Amino acid sequence: MSTLLIKNAYVVTMDDHHRELPDGGLFVRDGLIEQVAPSGALPEAADETLDLRGHVLLPGLVNTHHHFYQTLTRAVPAAQDANLFNWLRTLYPIWARMTPEHVFASTQTALAELALSGCTTASDHLYLFPNGSRLDDEIDAAREVGVRLHASRGSMSLGESKGGLPPDSVVDSEDVILKDSQRLIERYHDPAAGATVRIVLAPCSPFSVTGDLMRQSAELARQHGVRLHTHLAETEDEEQFCMQKFGHRPVGYMQELGWMGPDVWFAHAVWVSEAEIRAFAGHGCGVAHCPTSNMRLASGIAPIKEYMLAGVNVGLGVDGSASNDGSNLLAEVRQAMLLSRIKDGITGYSLSTEPERRLMAARQALWLGTRGGAAVLGRADIGALEAGRCADFFAVNLDHLEYAGAAQDPVSAIVFCQPRRVDYTAVGGKLIVRNGSLMTADEIVIVQRHNRLARGLLEA
Ligand SMILES: [Zn+2]
């Protein structure tokens, strides 16, 4: 039995009542929140006590879409100013040189960045496995950092010779993909509350896998109760590709393949119609909104407020670090709020007086990053600070230069102001970031190893 007491913080619970406690804290026992209360009502002692006076305390952020391995290819000159399809064509041959060591090292880099930005649960989508690399390499690396991981077993089976986008050298046979998917589910998937590792099946995109693989992956996932994930409706190019090759728009294609349901979430979902938004809501599909990536690749602006109004679960994702090019999830909360406002400015909603059409507020953006993400990943045990949930949280000290002058509304301050490293991050009550430093791995070692491997990939 171990206990942790946090007191004197500005607590943002993100519970169903949107409760905030200006002077409150948590009492944690064995990794679970036992009590959220004003500081004076909490127990007086614990194995460890943290006085977080001057800090805002929030539920840990949930990242719903990433490709950790892409931290090895950030800002590659030839891919800097390309749209999605050209960006991919430039990078596929570089990624094809990766080894298990690259997967391990890049996972630690991405998760260290995420932890330092308040993230406590991350979903990653690894969809190419060159030179003997496996999802196991990522899971091993994640265990060391200590962030909860939803490891998506991605796949590509539709190479150039069969009309797909990726070169044949980076695609696998469907038999190999399905066998490995089954192995990973049996070995790692933990459906229990408080799980640190879950497996997801995630054929990469309509333009890199066959419909057959999508169908069989869904069948396998549903036999084992694991979730399904893929990229969808990211760009206009993809819409044209689907119309020409399958005779459907991307969402219609998913409907045909049995890929609509509460166990499915899609990354991006930018190019959708009103009817398709209603279809997502009706089937309970989730959306991983990746605003920075959508801006970086000039993909478009996802209709996030429309999704929210329709009742679609929306979470945030930093997306791969070759299209962001960072893994700062708190910055992504800010981007989501700002990009939504640009869309409102373009469509004229910014002038609307209807309450539901008001500009996205800081607290709404934080909701997407916490409760929204937890719902998208199908987890009721994270995403809020309330008794019975996992003690996953982060804290930001407002007594820093970046927040000077913003004390009137400490919660909005951490979204409106330029984010800096968070001061504390805890997963299951264990502090993995303390005083702005990563506690579970050596940041300098991570950076040096990462740079050596990245140089090798690009110079090969
Ligand atoms: Zn992606």
**Ligand 1 centroid to residue 256 C-alpha, Å:** 22
**β-pair partners for 232:** 268
The alpha carbon of 154 and the centre of ligand 1 are apart by a number of angstroms equal to 11
Ligand 1 mean position to 232 CA, how many Å? 9
Q: Which two tokens stand for residue 332?
A: 């992504």
| C-alpha 40 – ligand 1 centre gap (Å) | 45
The alpha carbon of 290 and the centre of ligand 1 are apart by a number of angstroms equal to 8
Report CA(19)–ligand 1 centroid distance (Å).
33
Percent of the chain whose pLDDT exceeds 70: 98
Query: Looking at the predicted structure, is the pLDDT value of residue 216 above 80?
Result: yes
State in Å: Cα 126 to ligand 1 middle.
Answer: 9
pTM over 0.85: yes
Judged against a pLDDT cut of 70, whether residue 350 lies above it is answered with no
Structure tokens given for 148: 């909860």
Place of tokens 């913080």: 9
For the record, the structure tokens of 43 come out as 């127990």
What is the rounded average pLDDT of the residues 423-438? Answer: 98
* Residue 264, both tokens: 């499915």
Sign of the C-alpha dihedral, residues 256, 258, 263, 266?
Answer: negative
User: How are beta strands 424-427 and 430-434 bridged, if at all?
Assistant: antiparallel
**Residue 452 Cα, ligand 1 centroid: separation in angstroms?**
25
Could you report the per-residue pLDDT of 354-408, keeping only the tens digit for each? Answer: 776 789 999 999 999 999 999 999 999 999 999 999 999 999 999 999 999 999 9
117 vs 99, 318, 327, 397, CA distance in Å? 28, 11, 8, 13
Separation of alpha carbons 164 and 178, rounded Å: 19
What's the 291 CA to ligand 1 centre distance in angstroms? 11
| Ligand 1 centroid from CA 294, angstroms | 10
CA of 326 to the centre of ligand 1 (A): 13
DSSP per-residue string spanning 355-415: GGGSPPPHHHHHHIIIIIHHHHTT-SSSSS-STTSB--EEEEES-SGGGTT-TTSHHHHHH
